[in-house]
Structure formats: C-alpha cells, structure tokens
Amino acid sequence: MIMAKRAKILGIMCCALMGASQIGRAAQGDVFEGRYLESRISDITLPDSCKSPYRDAPNFIEFFNTTLYVMAARKGSGASGIAELFGVLSLREKMRELFPNLGEESPLDRLIVAQLCLFEKVQVEKRARPGQAPLVILPTDSEVQTHLAAIAPRLYQDARTLMVEALAVRAREKKQNLNLTRQWDEIQEARAKGQEKNKELFKDL
C-alpha cells in the first residue's frame, strides 16, 4: 500500500517536472538538468550521514535542489518561501563561482546541510519506537517541503549575511593586493633611482 502510494506520488511529480522542463526549453542546460532530475527523482533521498563527521555535502545539495524543483512544480513560483529558497540556491552557486577554492563544503553548503539535518533529527525523534525502520526522506515529502518553506526567510537572510561577509573578505584581500603592487612599484622605482645615481661612476666601463 505504502509502495503503491509512493509510486503514485512519484509518477505525479515526474509529470509535473516534465511539464516544467518543457516550459523552459529555451534554456537547453535547464532542460537537460530537468530531465536528469526527472530520471533520478525516485533515487534521490536525504543522505543518512547527518551524524557523521564526513557528511557528503554534494548529495545533500542535490537533495535540496531537487526538493526546491519539486516544490516549485507542485506549488508554483509564487508560493510562500519559494523565492527565498531559490535565492539561497542562487547565492550558493554565486559563492562557488566567486570562490572556487572553498573545497567540498562552502559556508552556504554547511548552512543548508545543517537545516536538513535538523529536520531529520526532529523526524527521527518523532517516529522513534522499537524496531522502527530507517527513516527515508524523499524530495516529494510534504513535511520537508513545509519545513523549508517555514524557514525560508531566515535561511535566505543567513545565506545573504554569509555572502556579504565573504565579499567583504574578498574586497579586503583585493585592496591588500593592490597595496602590495603599489609598494612593489615604489621599490622598483627606488632601485632604478639608485642605479641612476651610480650611472656616471661606471660610464667608462
């Protein structure tokens, strides 16, 4: 019964995602991503590594992205929290672009993972009972979508703050590099002046 219900939900959401991908055919990359997620939606689940020190951040981000796409397809772009959540996704992508040396986890990745793991913790505690099967959370899960919609404004503000801080550090580093360049130019000019002062001394050599 549960499997049949899950298959029905996945079938409905796959159709919704197919329709969403067809609407955006002008962007070929988006269409490809939509089709890829459409084919993988039944395989994507919230990773079970929240308690591990080696959390697989890319899989958490894939789950987050897919959940947002499902939410937008199901509820529409104007639904509560959708714009803020996609704003977080946009900031995360921009941070990756501006700071390519962040490693596997960026500060925004950690922020997103923390919220997903908080949701998982609450769900595990709520369902805790002897012999309980491992919890499997899908991108189509209405409770995870409700959770993300509820925290969307705060999540966006926190993500924006992290980006502002990162841009401030970048600006300071850029200014420092400009100062170093200017100082090196002064050193080179001073060296040239010193050589010029001794030019006549060695003119006959």
| Total domains present in the chain | 1
Residue 101 lies in a domain: yes
What contacts 115, CB < 8 A, 6 or more positions away?
Answer: 147, 148, 151, 155
In this prediction, residue 17 carries a pLDDT of 47
Residue 104 lies in a domain: yes
pLDDT, one tens digit per residue, over 137-179 is 999 999 999 999 999 999 999 999 999 998 888 778 777 766 6
∠ CA 43-46-50, rounded to 5°: 145
Residue 97 lies in a domain: yes
Using CA atoms, how far apart are residues 4 and 96, in angstroms rounded to an integer?
40
Residue 198 lies in a domain: no
Residue 96 lies in a domain: yes
In this prediction, residue 179 carries a pLDDT of 61
Residue 138 lies in a domain: yes
Token digits of residue 50: 């929240």
Residue 118 lies in a domain: yes
Residue 133 corresponds to which amino acid?
Answer: A
Q: pLDDT means per 10 residues in the chain (205 residues)?
A: 43 47 50 63 85 84 93 90 95 89 83 94 80 81 94 96 89 70 72 74 70
Residue 157 lies in a domain: yes
Using CA atoms, how far apart are residues 93 and 110, in angstroms rounded to an integer?
14
Domain holding 49, by residue range, is 44-191
